A = this chain, B = another copy of it.
Amino acid sequence: MAVRVEGFRAAGVHCGLKKEGARDLALIVSDRPAAAAGMFTRNRFPGAPVIVSKRHLRGRVARAVVVNSRISNVGTGEGGIADAREMARAVAGEIGARASEVQVASTGVIGWRLPMDKILDGIPTAVARLSPTGWTRAARAIMTTDTRPKLAHASSRGGTLVGIAKGAGMIEPDMATMLCYLATDLAVEPAFLRAALREAVEPTLNALTIDGETSTSDTTVLLANGARGNRPITAGSARAGELRRMLGDVLGALTEKLARDGEGVTKLADVVVRGARSDAAARRVALRIAGSALVKTALFGGDPNWGRVVQALGDAGVPFRPAEVGVTFGGVEMLRHGQPVEDPGALKRAERAMRRSRIEIAVSIGRGAGSARVLTTDLSYEYVRINAEYTT
């Protein structure tokens, strides 16, 4: 049974950007103004839709989201800004909203202008196809190099939350933008909506590293339209936990789907760092290890290569004492007090653990209380094949 969120309809249609009739224009519409919160790329060369959507979000209200795939509208100057605005205006006109109530995104090739005639023709088509069960079609329409649509949802006693996302491939990284749109039929007070989104994104989308690149278009937007008629949830509400849990579940599931669909990915690893002086220091170390091409190729090769882990650790810019460092792979201790564990069975057990599709690499760097967890993927492919076959 397809997921529904009260008061929301979604569509994904073909407007002529992708080949062979593939869906390339997504639309999400709320039947009433929804509280809206968003997080955008920190890249200093952002795409035009990011600039326009951030401006629109100042009102903290949205009625709709429109996204095209195939062309990103990045590096297109003032003309690109005008195009993004026109997309918003066209949707607003069709559904009877203000342009500032429309969130816009484009994902795909950088530097091309959008063929606005196709998009403007496609918008009324998308509006006509809006359906309460249109989420998978919308998820499909925002795909670029993704091999499958990414959709997750959660329900509570009083409401439902749905999310769609697109990745984060490594192969055609011009198109590696991460987009994520979330919608709930609960009423949520705007300040708490914003806080809850940030809090939920930190350990999920913001704790995933695939190729270390920050796209010019990364966007996450959450709409709460209150169609269930509840009193708006605030940070102090008894129901605050309900929203937090649903957001955590949906974003966690989408993050795993994004990671698994990274091109060529065969394995995931949770990099867990403990014993740092602060959570921030632990996170810095975890991101450095998770982003290391050497660690990722070892992961692909199933090699519990603690040497690569400590090499990355040593390069993270965080102080530690080598004699206090420990490393485990899938729970098997390989390095203790900065020295290899002298147990011939440990290597075998660690190698066995590395065969799982998701493993944990835990690094202890001292006696501090700071810890962090980051999700990463392996690096496969021929160039990496040789790297991975080289074994300690």
Q: Which residues of A line the B interface, CB within 8 A?
A: 42-46, 74-77, 109-112, 170-174, 211-216, 263-264, 292-294, 297, 305-308, 310-316, 318-320, 322-323, 325, 335, 337-340, 379-387, 390, 392
Closest chain-B Cβ to A343's Cβ sits at a distance in Å of 14
Contact partners of A263 in chain B: CB under 8 A:
386
14 A-B residue pairs with CB within 8 Å: A43-B315, A44-B314, A44-B319, A46-B314, A75-B307, A75-B335, A111-B307, A170-B383, A171-B386, A171-B387, A173-B297, A174-B392, A212-B293, A216-B311
Cα separation A174 to B298 with both chains bound (whole Å): 10
Does B75 contact A339, Cβ atoms closer than 8 Å? yes
Across the A-B interface, give the 4 residue pairs with the lowest CB-CB distance, nearest first. Answer: A381-B383, A382-B382, A110-B307, A45-B314
Does A312 contact B213, Cβ atoms closer than 8 Å? yes
Beyond A44-B315, A174-B307, list 19 extra A-B contacts (CB 8 Å).
Answer: A43-B315, A44-B322, A75-B307, A76-B339, A110-B308, A110-B310, A111-B335, A171-B383, A171-B386, A172-B387, A173-B294, A173-B308, A173-B387, A174-B308, A213-B311, A216-B310, A381-B384, A382-B383, A383-B383
Does B311 contact A214, Cβ atoms closer than 8 Å? yes
Does B171 contact A392, Cβ atoms closer than 8 Å? no
